Chains A and B, each alone.
Chain A
Amino acid sequence: MPPLARGRSAFRADEPEFVFGQDQPPDELSRRQFLALSGVTLAAASAALSGCTRAPAEKIVPYRVQPSEIVPGRPLHYATAATWDGYARGLLVESHEGRPSKIEGNPQHPASLGASSAEEQALLLELYDPRRLRAISKRGAPVSQAELLSVLGAAGDGVRKGRGVHLVLPALSSPLVAEQLAELALRLPELTLHFHVPLARRAAWQGAKLAFGKVLDTRVDLRRADVVLALDADPLARGPNALGLARAFAERRQPSSRYGGMNRLYVVETAMSVTGANADQRLALPPSAISRFVAALLRKIALASGGEAAAAVAQALPELTLGDQAERFVNSLAADLLQHRAASAVLVGDEQPAEVHAAACALNALLENGEHVLSYAPPVVLGSDRDDYASLQGLRDALAAGSVETLLVFDSDIAYASAVDWELARLLPKAKRSVCFGLFRTRTSAACEFEAPAAHVLESWLDTRALDGTISLVQPLLSPLYSGTTVSELLARLSGDPEPSAHDLLKRFWQRARPDQFDEFWETALARGVVTGSESATYPPGAPSFAWLGGLARASAEHGIELSLRADPRLHDGRLGNQPWLLELPCPVTKLAWDNAVWFGPGLAQQLGVANGDVVTLSASGRSLSAPALVVPGHADGAISLALGWGRDSFDGTEVVGVDAYQLLDSTRGHHTRVRVTRTGRHAELALTQDTMRLGEGAESIMLSRTLSEHESQRASGSRIKRQLSLYSGDAAQSPRQWGMTIDLNACTGCSACVVACQAENNIPSVGKRGVLKHREMHWLRIDRYLTGSDAAPRVLQQPMACQHCEKAPCEYVCPTGATVHSSDGLNQMVYNRCVGTRFCSNNCPYKVRRFNWFDYHESDRSPRALAQNPEVTVRARGVMEKCTYCVQRIRTAEIRARSSGRALAASEVQTACEQACPTRAIAFGDVNDPSSEVARLRASDRAFEVLAELGTAPRTRYLMKLTNPNPELA
């Protein structure tokens, strides 16, 4: 009950984590508490709020051809890049008068192609996070920079050669840093360097090494693959090139794809993933069974393709029995793969052991999936060739032996996101001196002697490389809010540079690298966000060896239920901290927000008598962890799975979100371990945004899905989808331009990037777990998820649902004040100022896409986080209704630009936020009256249908029917 929880809610109301209690009423108390915040906070916050973020001192270059001088009120876009696990993803950051306000993907960048994921969007919130470290402190007490510098100076003292100095860096692919590290190695030969990468691609690299004798990254062009096999992999949502792969995949989902017909996706996995939800044929297997499955598949393919491979495999691999379902699956899969020789791809997830990756290499080789589909290249990530890459065992031993003089940790929470058997949280204090640079106070920084702010990516100068080697220059959008350090500056200090500047370091490095016409190179590189022609060469792998086959499909003697520790589809490894946008984003698979639950298959859940929300205890080798259970249709029954990245410590008194699955991550076992599951009898409330996953009566008027063959036969028979007629005559005063949207359900993977993009663009508040439990989430765009078929092997249908902008909108005629009316160009407009909040419009909306401000959600946000808001979009007050506007602010801006420059508005000129973020281009927006526009073409498609058309609402948003391409043999 709100009144009882007031005190706490007030605390939340203005403490950095205000969002947790957002469903609680904000009240006077909170204001006083705000004033009680530290002077620094206040200064930062107020400075921030008054909008005086400082532009970087150095010259930064806006994207493409824009007037580089600041026009007040007109935002500029700057290209830069984020680095995930060492791989770059190009960004395009919108900046209002030097204040970054929105992040998009960089169309020029191969790993982005203009799209962005939820993680990139959340970088903005991270930048303005009120919890960011603001000053250097020693054991929690603020100290002068000098004191820290003396420590660094001592560490970097050339005389001592860096003995006992341990440096922990995150995954990087920066050429500059590579050079700096080389210098450092000469200057401090005895310095020990560790890379901290919770979810490294080490297994994949090692697999390639087994197969081809060299650490390699795999690059796939899914446009060329007729048949795709994903083995416990989630290529459409995870990995260095997820956005690119998703785009390519979607292109091949179109029956009329110019690369050949619709592809077929096989998925064999333990837990339902985004990719699994899009599979044509899916098989759920526990982790151990997956390697057996691969072995069986490899055997069949090898024998079929003959040669010495056949011989090697035949004598190394016994005939494996899989159980008849898997047997049928593997047979028809093998047949399909062989049928599409040289036009298929086998992909494996990072959590799988090296042998499985090696097997995939072998399979791809045997299937002759050559360069055009699938190629190999040495990883761009620094240190990838080290066998102990991403392992902190060395550091652990050194700490245990007490041989660590100085420990320098940069932007890595090694005490939290690392194998529990390394016991780093316990051992860290054993370092004589320790400094932790980071954005936030973390378990690591709290255990270190010094805590120092690091620079956020949007505050940094650096360079970084994408999977294919493409180099991007990272330029800051603003000078560090809290004078944070970049990694290059830290390294420079260690090599004795007294006053390093990230900008100069980078510029000088590239001056050496590109001496001729440097200035031009520099300008264009910064402007475009990529260094053209910097892709790295591929590596012809040659024939695979089979020496490793013995390691494959080792039958494990252990007992207990298999636990698979996965990367979370939203928080990844938890590196972004608790950003409300990500925490409140419903899991694409389970629609669970504000929690990571233990996933159970329906069968196992029944067998153990576990239901949603029952708290279970997982125990393995003396360690145990309690977490709520969640029954996930399509999850393999022999196993359970739990997402990493949750349960980060909270240092501001707010409750911890989710459970810390790293507590069960054992470096000796990897991501798959065996646990005992016991019910505690306790029950936890799970903030599920969708209760019903089954389509009941009237399904066909909500969602259309057919198999490719059905669709083709229908098309042949000329049967078309019915269109509704209206009794009302056409509206008066229609303008020639009519906005509309189409959403291709066949392209949508359900990755949910659009949801966060919409939230970022439209200043949509987060309501906290309690808010979601009360079904008051504010997302204007949600992704409805429906299951058909059995719970054990369900088919997944996904439907992004936002305001349909009905031409005969039922919400409009019931509003007593005329607060929601229709614009002449076909928008269903919400006039916040006129709304009195009767909520009749929401009742009468058959799509239930309207959202209501139950409390004053924004009033309470006096933190710097308010800076992330889009100045083009009204912040809604308490008591008014809101909903998708088709990004009307973007429409009007484009119109005004066109008018002021005296030209007609081009069809492609307006992009909605969701459309822009979408990796698969599932969303098309434009003028439906303009025959040249994409949206007009798609509306006329024979797959286009309107949701609940029979109600006569005449929605402006049309959906394109989902198609699947199942293997007839398995049907």
Chain B
Amino acid sequence: MTASAENGVVWPGPDPSASAEELALLPRAQSDRALTEELLNHVLQPPPWLGRAILVAGGLSSVLLAAVLYTVLTGIGVWGNNIPVAWAFGITNFVWWIGIGHAGTFISAFLLLLEQKWRTSINRFAEAMTLFALVQAGLFPLLHMGRPWFFYWLIPYPSTMGVWPQFRSSLTWDVVAVSTYFTVSLLFWYLGLIPDLAAVRDFAPERWRRRIYGVFALGWHGSAAAWRRHRIAYGVLAGIAAPLVVSVHSIVSMDFAIGVLPGWHSTIFPPYFVAGAIYSGFAMVLTLMIPARRLYRLEHVITRDHLDKMAKLLLVTGTLVTYAYAVEIYCAWVGGDAFERHLLLEVRPRGPMAPLFWLVIACNCGSPLLLWSRRVRRSTLALFALSLTIQLGMWLERLMLIVSSESADFLPAIFHGYRPTLIDGGLLFGTLAFFCFLFLLFLRFVPFIPLTELKALEFELRGRK
């Protein structure tokens, strides 16, 4: 079909009910036709650089493959871990990646429930990020095991050994939490995607494309009844996903909180970790969004207002995290537990861990203060830099939390430091590359701006007579 089929539809003036601020979210009035064409063409005629980018990312991902193979074939000893520091990079990466994922769900679920219209143009982005982050996160619990080929022993199945998993351990909780989280995120994402896939199906000129997208669209036709069910189910899933996010990172935090170690054995961990997770997640959303929006010329869809709002959320979560740090140290100070005092008042701020500690404070507590300034919030460059700083900071925070407690817990005789190896670094780098690879594939094949939702928003803001 061609644009000629478009016969002049007179667009009414702005709907008085839509506030100026809301209108700013879609500054340019566009017909459904125009929106469809613009957004779907990203999929049908991908920009030339994309293919090359995918190749590069794929190539770099081989680092991950190599590191994984080497680790599995020779033994976990190729990492820097030791006794007492039995967990280090592996678990740090796990917690960090999970945290990244949370922002996606938060944006798509929480903001949906709160009827934040501005989420519309970025939520699929964010959800995809969640999924791919979870893929990376999922790697590490497996890899860090001494015998990864027996990972399935954490799943209850009737075996000839007649034994079962031990469900008092937070590691079994992790298995359930993470797998649930991944499944729900996937369903949520896919449910929202179905109408858009149908759109591609019906829009794509080539037959084969129609076929393929047709299959994934599951034969969706937007009958009013189907839309109603879809809307409600989507709402329900959002309602489920929102508490899920909170629960998942709470459980992750319990990998430490149920331990007896000073600095781990703390009731503040769940909220503390959730805040930190969403904090780093938002940072990651910005990191991905800012370049994509530029590359795809989407400044009118993902506007500075979007960035501004994201920045404000960063500020909020950043403040929460800072508060958590403060409370943690204060509790140690008044708590009077000798070992906790030693760890939080000596080892971390003044001991061998000090540089790490202060770097974390600078990145996670210091840098977000810049966001009080509107100019920073609206400058893409500054935001991009900040988002990277914050992600680094959050990664270091996890490392600091994990390693410092292990390396100086109770008996001074077994206090030891930790030195990572090249393999440790390779795994982290590899997952980053692999994450980019997956994300680029997503940009290539999936309508990454929710078409139908955008049209609905357009209609909501301007469509009514």
Which positions in A face B, CB cutoff 8 Å? 1-3, 23, 25, 27, 690-698, 701-702, 774-776, 782, 784-786, 799, 801, 810, 813-818, 834-840, 842-844, 846-848, 850-856, 877-881, 947-948, 951, 953
Contact = CB atoms under 8 A, between A and B. Distances in A.
B412 A842 contact: no
The 7 A-B residue pairs whose C-beta atoms are closest, nearest first, are: A837-B146, A879-B146, A854-B77, A784-B413, A698-B338, A839-B86, A25-B74
A731 to B, nearest CB: 14
Contacts of B413: 690, 692, 782, 784-786, 799, 801
Residue among A692, A775, A816, A851 with max Cβ neighbours from chain B (10 Å): A816
B82 A814 contact: no
B397 interface: no
A852 B421 contact: no
Contacts of A847: 410-411
Interface stretch (B53-61, B211-219, B256-264, B269-277): B256-264
A775 B169 CA distance: 26
Nearest to A4: B422
Contacts, number: 183
Interface stretch (B150-158, B318-326, B357-365): B150-158
B251 to A, nearest CB: 13
A152 B191 CA distance: 94
Contact of B166 (A25, A693, A815, A851): A815
B410 A846 contact: yes
A880 B147 contact: yes
Given A837-B147, A850-B83, A853-B146, A1 B422 contact: yes
Contact of A879 (B75, B84, B260, B342): B75
A814 B77 contact: no
A698 B261 CA distance: 14
Given A815-B166, A846-B260, 6 more contacts: A697-B339, A814-B258, A834-B153, A837-B145, A838-B171, A854-B77
B75 A848 contact: no
B33 to A, nearest CB: 55
A844 B146 contact: no
A818 B70 CA distance: 28
B150 to A, nearest CB: 5
11 contacts: A696-B412, A775-B83, A775-B85, A799-B413, A817-B163, A836-B150, A836-B151, A844-B259, A844-B261, A846-B410, A878-B147
A692 B154 CA distance: 37
A23 B80 CA distance: 12
A837 B154 contact: no
A25 B83 contact: no
B168 A813 contact: yes
B260 A810 contact: yes
Nearest to A785: B413
Interface string B147-178: 11011011000000101111011111001000
Contacts of B255: 840
In this complex, which of A694, A774, A801, A855 has the most chain B Cβ atoms within 10 angstroms of its Cβ? Answer: A774
Contacts of A690: 413-414
Taking each of A701, A775, A877, which has the highest tally of chain B beta carbons within 10 Å of its own beta carbon?
A775
A2 B81 CA distance: 14
Given A785-B413, A836-B150, A842-B83, A818 B163 contact: yes
Given A2-B74, A843-B259, A848 B338 contact: no
A544 B238 CA distance: 99
Nearest to B342: A697
B458 interface: no
B398 to A, nearest CB: 14
A835 B74 contact: no
B416 A691 contact: yes
Nearest to A695: B412
Contacts of B144: 838-839
A25 B76 CA distance: 10
B412 A851 contact: no
By CB atoms of chain A within 10 A, which of B255, B259, B260, B417 has the most? B260
Contact of A842 (B76, B86, B171, B341): B86
Give the residue among A25, A801, A850, A953 with the most B Cβ atoms within 10 A: A25
Contact of A2 (B78, B83, B165): B78
Nearest to B141: A838
A401 to B, nearest CB: 57
Nearest to A880: B146
B409 interface: yes
A782 B260 CA distance: 22
A843 B168 CA distance: 16
A817 B89 CA distance: 23
Most buried by B among A23, A839, A856, A947: A839
B153 A23 contact: no
A846 B261 CA distance: 7
Contact of A702 (B81, B175, B410, B417): B410
Contacts of A782: 413-414
Contacts of B82: 774-776
B169 A816 contact: yes
Interface in B300-333: none
Given A23-B77, A786-B413, A815-B169, A836 B341 contact: no
B161 A848 contact: no
B134 to A, nearest CB: 19
Interface string B179-199: 000000000000000000000
Interface in B191-239: none
Nearest to B343: A697
Contact of A839 (B146, B341, B412, B414): B146
Contact of A813 (B75, B161, B169, B342): B169
Given A814-B169, A840-B171, A694 B146 contact: no
A1 B421 contact: yes
A837 B422 CA distance: 22
Given A695-B412, A785-B413, A852-B146, A814 B170 contact: yes
A782 B342 CA distance: 24
A27 B75 CA distance: 11
B461 to A, nearest CB: 51
Interface in B79-105: 80-87
B424 to A, nearest CB: 11
B415 interface: yes
A880 B76 CA distance: 11
A846 B409 contact: yes
Contacts of B409: 846, 848
A838 B259 CA distance: 14
A561 B176 CA distance: 67
A619 B263 CA distance: 50
A814 B171 contact: yes
Contact of B83 (A810, A848, A878): A848
Contacts of A854: 75-77, 81
Listed residue (A23, A814, A847) with the most chain B CB atoms within 10 angstroms of its CB: A814
A840 B76 contact: no
B147 A855 contact: no
Given A698-B339, A847-B410, A878 B415 contact: no
A696 B411 CA distance: 9
Contacts of A836: 145-148, 150-151, 153-154
A25 B147 contact: no
B170 A843 contact: no
Contacts of B258: 813-814
Contact of B406 (A813, A834, A843): A843
Given A814-B171, A843-B259, A878 B412 contact: no
Interface string B390-413: 000000000000000010011111
Contact of A25 (B75, B259, B419): B75
